[in-house]
Amino acid sequence: MQHRKHEPWLYLAPALVMLLAVFGYPMVRLVILSLQRTQAGELGFVGLGNYELLFRDDVFLQAVRNNLKLLLTVPVTVGLALLLAVFLFERILGWRLYRTTLFLPYLLPITAVGLVFSYIFQLSGVLNDFLAAVGLGVLAQDWLGSTRLALPTVMFVIIWKEVGFGVVLFLARLMSVEEELFDAARVDGANWWQLQRHVTIPQLATVIEFFTVISIITVLSWVFGYVFVMTAGGPGNATMVTELYVYLMGFRYNQMNLAAAVSVLLLLVTGIFIFLELRLRERSDLGVVS
């Protein structure tokens, strides 16, 4: 009986060893590197010294502020995806085509998306040419060259690309809900808003939680491609983000220890949100069981 108890771990052992080798060792090395610094030509232990330097670096603090501003895209993305999924679920004319069209941007490489929108939003780009052609040239802006508009422009691109994933998630969940729930609510006299509030939203609660956490993780640690291709962190660090800061410190300025420290911070923040998602999922599962 004791042997049977440990048998599953024997089957899992090869995979666990591989995971530790591929992910565990690099993570440990990353933490160690973040606690060291090259001094007088030798690598020595400095404790939290690298982290102290980071929080005295205005560029890093600006990158953190920009990542926090990017969090504003999360409620917009979730809300827009939910609204579009509801309309598609009502089988409006051509809904299958719309579903594919909305999901297509999510499948495109970030590099390709960044390049296309860089061409669209540059000062002499497609958008400003179009505005001038229809007599609205007064609205033309230097969308990516303005410290005031660059970050909101990047935020728009992120929403445009990521919303399709949420639409597909929500629509897939709605299509698995029994039609009787919606029919019963209509028989009881529920209008459209009441139907969404009392039936649609509760049925989508766990998926909304999942997509919200995924969106938060995305804007905190997965926006390097957008920023690097579209603005390279400019103008004047207006779109600098923590991922780009890691890249610049590690590969342009050869400050690998500072880059490691930022990477550890990103890993911790991402891990916290993953833990919260698992807790939410566990709570939801317990609610279903009870």
> pLDDT tens across 223-265, in order?
999 999 999 999 999 999 999 999 999 999 999 999 999 999 9
* Among 119, 162, 161, residue whose Cα is nearest residue 144: 119
> pLDDT tens across 267-289, in order?
999 888 888 877 877 776 655 54
pLDDT at 284 (0 to 100): 64
How many CA within 13 A on the CB side of residue 234?
Answer: 9
CA dist 105 and 80 (Å) reads: 15
Which amino acid is residue 36, in one-letter code?
Q
Q: In sequence order, what E strands does the chain have? A: 36-39, 42-45
Residue 286's CB is within 10 A of a number of other CB atoms, namely 9
Please tell me the pTM assigned to this model: 0.89
Structure tokens belonging to residue 275: 């833990």
CB 226 within 8 A of CB 157: yes
Domain segments of the chain as ranges: 1-34, 49-289
CA dist 100 and 266 (Å) reads: 33
The yes/no answer on whether domain 49-289 falls in CATH 1.10.3720.10 is yes
